[in-house]
């Protein structure tokens, strides 16, 4: 039996970060990965999806830049090369980089499926060859997998998000079931790449977790790009042949059939908490099959920790990385606890969406006398010079002391801008603190300063 001090199961953004941090703090660490180092995020999730989104944007820029006086003839898209770039120049570079970082920090990497056989040991099955590893502490970071729905078994032309990212051709017609983060991101990506996309969502609107004016901006861009959105609709079943798939949809009581080259199901993800022997060692789960933890990520078995998608809270890669650092430090004897004051969330639609903290409605529900300050992207010089005038920045603040409580950003570089506001809320800054901070010009980040001035009642650019 091999031995280690800390056994990390899963090498995604939570697991590899936990392993490296524990090793930095002097622990002997072994990390076990069932599939590929980097987990879902780096291999078949966050990173490759952003690569396809970028490819779609560049393609559209080449096709539609006549307003700049730019024109290109015979623009073509070789999707095989696009996929090669995504896989070899983006995904492979990052995953090989993570492998190198683990080795640099003397973390032992084992590829195989881990199952607990006691409170201090696990068995790893590597393609039929089994070995046992004894540990003092373990950190579970097994992530999540796509949910399969009735009538749409994965296989053939019925895809999960992984299959959708690895197509060898651009579908002429693509149906996406599920209008949340993943569905809307991939709908936008494939529409930009040339697909005729139909997006089916059971709620009255796509992106149901966001406010209505945010949904509207994305909806408008979908309409412009020819994406058909069927809201308040239910996908009933799919019938596939060798070269197409037919989906039956209930749209408000009216049934219709839609033909496509592929159907992609993106209705959510399920935590990977089954099949790893948790019940046998006394690690308890809640009614949602998520692992119960305390403020230090300890499970009901004190020497075993759990982080990321398999515990209650937001299922976000950056949150998992944060979890991993704290859990690793606890394993190393540090007296630390998690502190989720604010966690940003980003959706890479057109336009981009980024939110953090409270909405005005949430703040009021929490008994805070809150107000908002809104600044439009179309009033920002840099946004206009990038031909990206759509969107706004909305700050939520406490009227009593002008402290920042939250923000909703829609528009160009929203994914980058949200960091400044996250820091501001984390450090209890006020509108005046941010407004008095000199921002570079011309930049989109000036919209944050401008929005703060709106909240103070002294706007310059409105």
Residues with a catalytic annotation lie at 441
Element holding 110 (H helix, E strand): strand 108-111
Place of tokens 């499926």: 113
What's phi and psi for 140, nearest 5 deg? -90, 125
Task: Please indicate if the annotation marks 457 as binding a ligand.
Answer: no
Binding residue per annotation — 202? Answer: no
Residue 339 in contact with residue 417, Cβ under 8 Å?
no
Question: How far apart (Å, rounded) are the C-alpha atoms in residues 277 and 123?
Answer: 10
Give the 3-state DSSP-derived string for 294-337, with helices as H, strands as E and coil as C: CCCCECCCCCEEECHHHCCCCCCHHHHHHHHHHHHHHHCCCCCC
Tokens representing 54 are: 């970028």
Residue 155 labelled as part of a binding site: no
Check the annotation: does 183 bind a ligand.
yes
181 is in an annotated binding site: yes
Query: Is residue 50 annotated as involved in ligand binding?
Result: yes
- Was 184 annotated as part of a binding site? yes
129 is in an annotated binding site: no
Query: Which has the closest alpha carbon to 8: 276, 234, 236?
Result: 276
Query: Which residue(s) pair with 345 in the sheet?
Result: 355
Pick from 117, 125, 116, 104: which is nearest to 35 by CA?
Answer: 125
86 labeled binding residue: no
Q: Say if residues 286 and 293 touch (Cβ distance below 8 Å).
A: no
Specify whether the CB–CB gap between 305 and 331 falls below 8 A. Answer: yes
Residue 391 is labelled as binding a ligand: no
Helices within 225-306 (DSSP H only): none
- Annotated ligand binding at 409? The verdict is no
| Residue with the two structure tokens 């409580």 | 405
178 in a labelled binding site = yes
Give CA–CA dist 226/194, Å, rounded: 10
Residue 39 among known ligand-binding residues = no
Binding residues for FAD: 50, 142-144, 309
Binding residues: 50, 142-144, 178-185, 201, 268, 309
Binding residues for NAD(+): 178-185, 201, 268
């Amino acid at each position: 039996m091999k031995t280690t001090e800390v056994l990390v199961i899963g090498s995604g953004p939570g697991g590899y970060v936990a392993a490296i941090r524990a090793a930095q703090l002097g622990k002997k660490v072994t990390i076990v990965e069932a599939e590929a180092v980097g987990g879902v995020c780096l291999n078949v999730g966050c990173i490759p999806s952003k690569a396809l989104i970028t490819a779609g944007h560049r393609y559209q820029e080449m096709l539609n830049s006549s307003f700049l006086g730019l024109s290109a003839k015979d623009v073509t898209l070789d999707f095989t090369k696009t996929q090669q770039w995504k896989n070899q120049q983006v995904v492979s570079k990052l995953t090989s980089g993570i492998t190198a970082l683990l080795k640099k920090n003397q973390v032992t990497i084992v590829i195989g499926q881990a199952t607990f056989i006691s409170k201090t040991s696990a068995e790893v099955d590597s393609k039929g060859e089994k070995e046992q590893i004894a540990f003092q502490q373990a950190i579970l970071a097994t992530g999540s997998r796509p949910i399969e729905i009735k009538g749409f078994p994965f296989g053939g032309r019925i895809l999960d998000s992984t299959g959708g990212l690895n197509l060898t051709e651009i579908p002429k017609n693509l149906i996406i079931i599920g209008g949340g983060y993943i569905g809307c991101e991939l709908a936008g990506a494939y529409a930009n790449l040339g697909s005729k996309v139909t997006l089916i969502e059971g709620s009255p609107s796509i992106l149901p977790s966001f406010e209505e004016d945010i949904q509207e901006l994305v909806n408008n861009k979908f309409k412009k790009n020819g994406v058909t959105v069927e809201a308040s609709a239910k996908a009933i079943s799919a019938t596939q042949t060798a070269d197409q798939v037919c989906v039956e949809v209930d749209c408000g009581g009216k049934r219709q059939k839609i033909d496509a080259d592929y159907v992609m199901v993106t209705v959510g993800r399920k935590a990977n908490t089954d099949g790893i022997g948790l019940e046998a060692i006394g690690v308890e789960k809640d009614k949602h099959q998520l692992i119960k933890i305390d403020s230090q990520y300890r499970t009901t078995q004190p020497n075993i920790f759990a982080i990321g998608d398999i515990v209650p809270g937001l299922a976000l890669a950056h949150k998992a990385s944060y979890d991993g650092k704290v859990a690793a430090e606890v394993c190393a004897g540090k007296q630390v606890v998690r502190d989720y004051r604010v966690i940003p969330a980003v959706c890479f639609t057109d336009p981009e969406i980024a939110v953090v903290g409270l909405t005005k409605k949430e703040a009021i529900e929490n008994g805070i006398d809150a107000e908002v300050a809104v600044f439009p992207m179309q009033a920002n010089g840099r946004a206009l010079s990038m031909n990206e005038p759509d969107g706004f920045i909305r700050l939520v603040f406490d009227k009593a002391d002008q402290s920042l409580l939250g923000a909703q950003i829609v528009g160009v570089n929203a994914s980058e801008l949200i960091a400044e506001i996250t820091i501001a809320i984390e450090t209890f800054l006020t509108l005046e603190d941010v407004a008095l901070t000199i921002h570079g010009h011309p930049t989109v980040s000036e919209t944050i300063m401008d929005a703060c001035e709106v909240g103070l009642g002294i706007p310059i650019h409105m």
